[in-house]
Every structure is written in C-alpha cells, then in structure tokens.
Chain A
Amino acid sequence: MDLELGEERLQAQRMVRDFVEREVGPHIAAWDREQRMDPALLPRMGELGILGICLPTRYGGQGYDYLTLGLVCEELERMDTSLRVIMSVHMGLNSLALLQWGNDEQKRRLLTPQALGEQIGAFCLTEPGAGSDVAAMRATARRDGDAYVLNGEKMWISLATRADNFLVVARHDPDAGATRGLSAFMVTRNMAGVSTGDIHGKLGIRAGSTGWIAMQDVAVPVENRLGEEGEGFKIAMSSLDNGRYTVASGATGLIRACLDASLRYARERRSFGHPIGQHQLVKQKLAHMQQWYDCSRLLWLQAGWLKNRGQRNTRETGMAKWYATDHSVKAALEAVQLHGAYGFSDEFPVERYLRNSKGATIYEGTSEIHQLMQADYALGLRQDRPLRCELPAWDEDFWLGDDVAP
C-alpha cells in the first residue's frame, strides 16, 4: 500500500480546512443550537468544487481521486459532522452510484449538475419500518408503460429537504425474492407526488438536515432507472461501500477534533500546580485518542487505496467504518471527561462532538451489523461476488481527460 499522499492531495485538504475554519467555525455552534443548516453552505461548497471533488472533469468534477475524498471528509468532520454528512449522501451514496451504475446519458444528465454542485443528491433506502433489514422495505415501483409509479415513504434521509435528486430503492416485483425484487430509481424533487420534511429533536448533527420523503403515485420515467430491473439491492449495497468510506474518514476527523481540543486544554488547564497534560491518567486518554486516530486513518487509507485501484473493498471499508465510528464515540467521551465541567457545557466544542459521534454507529450499517459481517468474512460464510458494474478505478487519463465519455 502506498501511503505517500503527495502535495496535490494535501493542498486540497488544506484548502478545505481553511474554508471550514474561516467560514464555518465561527458560526457552527449557533447553527447547531438552533437545529438549522446554514443555507449558504451547499451553494458555497458547490462553488468551491468540494461537491464534485473526486468525479472526472468530463462530468464537471474536480478530477481528484478517492483518497482525496477521504481527506476532504476528515477535514469536514473535524469541523462538524453535518458537513461530512453532505459528502456521504451527495457524493458517496448518490453521485458515486451514478458513476458506477449510470449509463452515459444518465451521467451527463444527472451526474454532471451534481458534480458542479448545481444539484444536490440524496439516498433513500431506510424506511420507518426497515433499517438494517433492507429486504423488509415496503416502497413500491409499479411499471406503467414508459414509467414506474412509485409509492412509499423513506425515513432518516439526510438532506431530504435540500436535495434535488433522490436515489430511491423500491420493490418493482413483489413476487421476486426479498432482494431480487428491488430496483433503483432517480426521483427528482420536481416530480408530482414528492413531498419532504425535516426531523427535529435529534441527539446530534443538529446543524444538518435529516428528514423524510413521501412518494404518492410518483411517475418516474424509465430513463431514470439506475441499472437493470432487480439490481436495486446490489446498487444499494455497493453505494454503501462508498458512503461508509466517507463515514469512516469523517469519523477519523472527529477523533482528530477530539484529540486537538483535548491537547489544547491539557496544555492550558492547570491542577495541583501543573498543566493537566502532565497527569498520568490524562496522558492515557490522549494516548488512546492518538492510537484511535492512527488506526482509523490507516484503515480508511487502505480502503481508499483499494478504491483507487478498482479493487473490491466491501470488507475493508466496513472495517474502517465500524472501527472509526465506534472509536469516535470513545474519543468524544474521553474528550468530555478530560475537559471536566467545561466539557459538559457548550462553552467548548467537545459536547457537540459527543452528540455528533453517536449517529454514525447507527447509520450505514450499525456497529452490530458490521460485526456480523466481519465475523462472516472471517468464517468464510460471506464472499463478495463480482458486480456487473464495479466502481471504476481512478485513472488519471480518464478523470482529467475532457473528451466526451464513450
């Protein structure tokens, strides 16, 4: 594995850090407190190219690779989880699915405006009664001539009220198997019968938008079906390989935020005549945070490296996601503890880090689901079969070439 990141990727990461520190940092506590998403955020991220960071320039993207996507997610979540969530759904779960499964017409029509940040993508799999048990989903897609008529409700959808294009998985054939009867569709906000709303009262990620989408007799043209009929489950699972990658790298950034805040406080705060960083039990917390950061980072870097090479990475990405998110909760708990009473108040950011950390151990595969998956891989009970469309390896000539795609 090549761990040399190079100046180009690191500069791109620094640019994102400067942006969030200058434009988001001063206001994030207020947006979080108000449970509102800054309306200027998505247009600004689009304008700066962040929303198209790892997409080929021929589709309006910035042409960087999957490792840079991870670095960007680390930087975004170091500031606030809500920023990284944008990349998870818009890029990881939606745009990369279009890149992987879309035909050329779909890439030009649907992916390009998303890469340019002119349109925002979201991902709709979970339902009020179907989370980890994807096959229990009830949303339907009935074929009617040149269209599918979609009905159902999707829940816990990030950017539900902000997105333009929703990648929706629904059951097109109730008689086919639990997963074989599923297909994927790109539903757009302007289609008749689509309604969305926000969910308030979340424990964390309160500066982000999470909501629901209801579809009532929504006519989706056939050209908006992603992949073939019956490929919905495979598309959803392969999208999760990309979404989980952004969650893993983001959670790594959250651990770094906890570590940075704790190091600052450990140097400044004094007790018993010394900076608290000189007390052994405080050092232990800092050492653990550093260990969790290093391990999380190496795990997502490994996944990113595999993605760049076009190799299947479901197991490695799952491991990175499981490890980084579980340890971001631990790091946030330790950071709050280290800050003492101040950690318990919103005078310091660590209480926000703790509230933000918990969600990622639930979404995109709970920690429990990831443990079952890893055990099944180890036991030889689970093997990844090749997909009809794999996520393309990062290829500089293709990513930076500007000729029209074949």
Chain B
Amino acid sequence: MHIVTFTRSTPDTAARLTVDADGSVSQGDAAMVVNPWDEYSLEECIAQAEDQGGTATVIAIGPEVHEEALRQALAMGVNAALRIDDPELATADSIGWATVAAAAIPRLDEVDLVIFGKEAVDVGSDQHQIQTARLLGWPFIGAVSRILELDAARGRLRVERSLEQGKQVLDCRLPAVISVLKDVNEPRYPSFMGIRRASRASIPLWTLAELAAELQKPLSRQLKLEEPPQRLAEAEMLSGTPAEQAGALIERLEKEQVL
C-alpha cells in the first residue's frame, strides 16, 4: 500500500496580508505553516499507511519555501518526502501544477491512493486536485469525512462524504484521488524524535526535465491583485428599555429596507 499526499507552505492564517502597490502580497513577519487543510490529509495518509503496513509519501511542488511543510510532514511521520521545482513553474496555473503532479505519481512505487486536504488556503482553490485525477485517469472523490474501507489487494475504497444534505457512502476502485475534510481525523503533533529526523533529512529535488513533463501555455493568468475596498461601518447604540430598543431596531431595519 503506497499512499501519496501533497502539501505546501502557506502564510499563517493569523497573518495580516496586505497587497503592495506593485501587486505583490506581503504577510509581514508572519510565519509560513503547513497549509492548515493539509494537516488532515497528512494525518490520514500516515495513519492509513501505518494501519496497512504501507508507505506514506509527501510531495510539494514549488520553491524552497515548501520544504518547511515537507519537514513538518516528515516530523509527523510520513516515510518519504520530495520536492519538484523548475523555473517554468513560476507562471504555471492549476493545470500546470496538475500536469507536474500527474507526471510524478507514475514515477513512484505503485501508488494506490492520493489524498489531498480540502484546498490550498492561500489561493483558496481545489481545482488542481480534480485536474490531477483527470490527468491520471483515476476517480476523484471530494469532501471525504471518513475512509470506511481501504483494501489495496482487492483494489477497493469505500468512503463517507459529508454533504449539506447528510452523509453519503461511495465505493470506488483503486487507484484513486480523494480530498478530506476536517472531520476525518484529529491531526497528530510532530514528535520530538520526528522533528530531529526531519531536520536532518535530505529532501530529493526533481525537475521537469527529470519528469519528462511539458507544461502547456497557462490557460489562465492573473491580471491584477488589489486590496478589497474598505468597508466603513458605523455602530449606533440604541437606548431605552429592551422593548423600546427592539421597536427602534425594527423601525431602522424597515427604513433601511432590510425587512
């Protein structure tokens, strides 16, 4: 059983992001952390591999900053990490990213399952996950809240999805690509021993040439990035008894045509 997951370093969600005049995003002195959604996919990847006596591999695509996330993943307990980077990737869109991911997976030892976190919190997107599955020709199941059965020998996967309407149980064949929600597990902390191993590990770097992957011209490009317009809000305190306050509130809401 070989399970692969992807991760990336993203700014701490508590960071105060600003867009500078030249359109670049600044996060001040806030730390980079593992994409918070990936904590769940990493945990699931490690736990499932442990349960099955298999291997958990983590991949990051992009510049050196993502090594921090890879080391965190190693400290949590994944067995192997690798990073793929290339100057060409600087302008790649999600299809470019997926092209690289889909080129890397067949080069690993027989992968049974790819697990993603819900989305990348910095770009707020998950389309690269579905695109990766499509390029691999593997089924994709999103919003997984529990893996009910994972049987590599029989090539079978059964998952529970958490939907607005309730829970849904789906079967699919392996290999497959899934993305998991927060309900799926409680992520572990990196262990002290794991931190030591991870900080001393050498992480292999692959390039596009080694993958023999060719990127198409990006289908989308970013035109402009700007601060959202400031929303000026004013608070008004209503006075009087609770009944008077409620009356005044309804009056105001009707006047503003909210009611």
Contact = CB atoms under 8 A, between A and B. Distances in A.
Contact of B196 (A8, A18, A19, A48): A8
Main secondary structure of the interface of A (DSSP, over half): helix
Main secondary structure, interface of B, reads helix
Nearest to A49: B192
A15 B192 contact: yes
Given A7-B199, A8-B199, A11-B199, A53 B71 contact: no
A49 B199 contact: no
Given A7-B71, A48-B189, A15 B196 contact: no
Nearest to B76: A15
A148 B109 CA distance: 64
Contact of B192 (A6, A7, A12, A18): A12
B189 A63 contact: no
B71 A49 contact: no
B215 interface: no
Q: How large is the interface on A (under 10, 10 to 19, 20 to 34, 35 or more residues)?
A: 10 to 19
Interface residues of B, number: 13
A49 B75 CA distance: 14
A313 interface: no
Given A7-B71, A11-B75, A11-B199, A64 B189 contact: no
Interface in A116-168: none
Nearest to A50: B192
Contacts, number: 38
A62 B189 contact: no
Interface in B184-203: 189-193, 195-196, 198-200
B189 A11 contact: no
Interface in B163-195: 189-193, 195
Contacts of B72: 11
A53 B192 contact: yes
A315 B196 CA distance: 32
A197 B132 CA distance: 62
Contacts of A63: 192-193, 196
Nearest to B195: A11
B190 A11 contact: yes
A197 to B, nearest CB: 34
Nearest to A23: B189
A6 to B, nearest CB: 8
5 contacts: A11-B195, A12-B192, A18-B189, A49-B192, A53-B192
Interface of B: 71-72, 75, 189-193, 195-196, 198-200
What 7 A-B pairs are tightest by C-beta distance, nearest first?
Answer: A62-B192, A8-B199, A11-B195, A49-B192, A15-B189, A7-B199, A15-B190
Given A8-B195, A11-B199, A48-B192, 18 more contacts: A7-B71, A7-B199, A11-B71, A11-B75, A11-B198, A12-B192, A12-B195, A15-B192, A15-B195, A19-B189, A48-B191, A49-B191, A49-B193, A62-B192, A62-B193, A63-B192, A64-B196, A400-B196
